[in-house]
Amino acid sequence: MYIFACDLEEWEKEKFLRLSDDHHIDFCAEKLTEETVQMAKDAEVLSVFIHSELGAGLLKRMPKLELIATRSTGIDHIDLGYCKEHQITISNVPTYGDNTVAEHVFALLLNISHKLTESIDRTRRGDFSQVGLQGFDLRGKTLGVVGTGSIGLYVIGIAQGFNMHVLAFDVKPKQELQGRFGFNYVDMKTLLTQSDVITLHVPLTPKTHHMISEEQFERMKQGVILINTSRGTVLDSKALVKALAEGKVAAAGLDVLPEEPAIREEAEMLRSVFRKKHNLETLLADHLLLRLRNVYITPHNAFNTCEAVERILDTTMKNIQGYAGGQPQNVVS
């Protein structure tokens, strides 16, 4: 089969080259775009990461495409309707960084609770004053976990180590998990009103889009801490800016933003097509968040450890080999 792998770094090619004895493989370091899709026009298998937006306009220029092997769990960057209509199989990586992302949640939270960024910046300037650097303990605080999938459960496990009290919400609660992991399921209203820290672990669906907006912020405790490592549009960034300004949210740790691809492409802002494609109000809110001193943003990097990336590539190879051998795996609809 003809495999085209894009949006990947040089060292990642070594994994794909293991398939070269049985398949023809081409690479592109850039994401799939109107310009780069020409190189992939004859591909039967396409492997991408989340930065490649696979809409119908691009996919129709690959008439031989049979399999999209995305190197991610999420599939919201792929036009599922087009793939179903044209019988294109999609395989993902269902688990690879559950503990990795959970650890990043606490990296963000500890940065906030111990004012690490401010402390490090100050001492680098030769200033060893402790004024304004007082933090707070996690011990005894209530953590609200929205979504108890694999990542959410790892977060709960780590929280137990800090002696935090854990509340959780899930649209499909698994009651048997409560005793095993030491938390309590509650409704969303209770979680919002009782949590000192709230962390989001849900996939992006029409129902989770802006699930945290003005109404939800109004229910939260004054001075709550908010962490989001799931998807940018699960959180209404304009509502978050307002909550931060009013002190409802004391600090936020974010690994995702709604318009993060647009922020990376600011030079395009004057083009009319860009204005149609992106929500400029949300983009402005994202820029405000980037500049607030009590908001700590990482570049969608929560998954990015050596071990997790190895797991991503290993599963992707198995997905491609399984499909080529007539036994597709990790197929999503």
Is residue 210 part of the annotated active site? The answer reads no
Taken as a whole, the chain contains a residue count of: 333
Instruction: Describe the strand order of the beta sheet including 331-332 as a list of residue ranges.
Output: 24-28, 2-6, 45-48, 67-70, 89-91, 331-332
Sequence-separated (6 or more) residues with CB below 8 Å from residue 204: 74, 76, 230, 231, 233, 234
Sequence-separated (6 or more) residues with CB below 8 Å from residue 172: none
| Amino acid occupying residue 333 | S
Q: How far is it, in rounded angstroms, from Cα 206 to Cα 234?
A: 9
Which tokens in the block code for residue 99? 């503990």
| DSSP per-residue codes, 280-310 | HHHHHHHHHHHH-TTEEE--S-TT-SHHHHH
Is residue 61 part of the annotated active site? The answer reads no
| Amino acid occupying residue 93 | V
Nearest one of 14, 124, 49 to 301, comparing CA atoms = 49
The DSSP call for residue 99 is H
User: 231, 259, 278, 311: which is the annotated catalytic residue?
Assistant: 231
Query: Is the distance from CB of 227 to CB of 198 less than 8 angstroms?
Result: yes
Is residue 300 part of the annotated active site? The answer reads yes
Q: How far is it, in rounded angstroms, from Cα 91 to Cα 317?
A: 11
Q: How far is it, in rounded angstroms, from Cα 163 to Cα 269?
A: 47
User: 12, 165, 259, 260: which is the annotated catalytic residue?
Assistant: 260
Active site residues: 231, 260, 300
